[in-house]
Structure 1
Amino acid sequence: MAVSIDTLGKATRHNMLVVATCRHCERQARFLASDLAGFYGHGRDPRTLPFRCKTCDRRDCRVTLMDWPFDRTPETIVWRPVKVRG
């Protein structure tokens, strides 16, 4: 039986990445689920996180979860969440 990963806490236990992809310009940003869980809380659904595209400044992002790429991949850039004063 497959377990549905619907919270950041479950994604953290499986050492997963949260990938936010802009639906307009297709730019991707990858985050460690553990970093986002510490920032937003372990019970939060990753698909409800407020991502904003750095290129086109839109909030229309598709959020997916993926395993850490272990085999023969080029460098994977992982972003860290920060609080911005505004």
Structure 2
Amino acid sequence: MAGPMDSVGRAAKANMLLVVECGHCWHVGRFRANDVAKVVGWNKPLETIRFRCRRCSRKDATVRTQFIDQDHPPKGYIWVLQKARG
């Protein structure tokens, strides 16, 4: 068992997804914890990460973790970090 997921780094080491749900319009986005950790830092607590909703532009989203089952991947699109062109 991976233990409590209190930081992005722990969720990334457990190969988890971050499921972000908007509290206003209920839009859901899924991000690989490893990609989020590269942007916000490995020691960042999950409750302090602020996401802006793509649909309504509000910042009142809740973040929870989800294990990735390789045999049954989650339905829906998983956002992946892209390298910047330069």
Comparing 59-68 with 73-82, which one deviates more in the overlay?
73-82
Given the two structures, how large is their TM-score scaled by the length of structure 2? Answer: 0.81
Q: Secondary structure at the match of 1:63?
A: strand
The range that moved more, 24-33 or 73-82, is 73-82
| Sequence identity (%) | 35
- Offset at 1:13? 1.0
User: Does structure 1 residue 60 correspond to structure 2 residue 63?
Assistant: no
Q: How many matched pairs?
A: 82
Deviation by residue 1:2-58 (Cα, 9 ceiling, x = unmatched): 721101111011100001100111100110000011111110012211101111111
* Runs of 5+ unmatched residues, structure 2: none
- Within a 5 Å distance, the mapping from 1:5-24 to structure 2 comes to 5-24=5-24
Return the TM-score normalized by structure 1: 0.81
Task: Tell me the residue number matched to 1:80.
Answer: 80
Contact 2:68 2:74 survives alignment (8 Å): no
Q: Trace 1:25-36 onto structure 2 (pairs within 5 A).
A: 25-36=25-36
2:16 and 2:2 mapped to 1: Cα distance? 16
Q: Counterpart of 1:50 in 2: which secondary structure?
A: coil
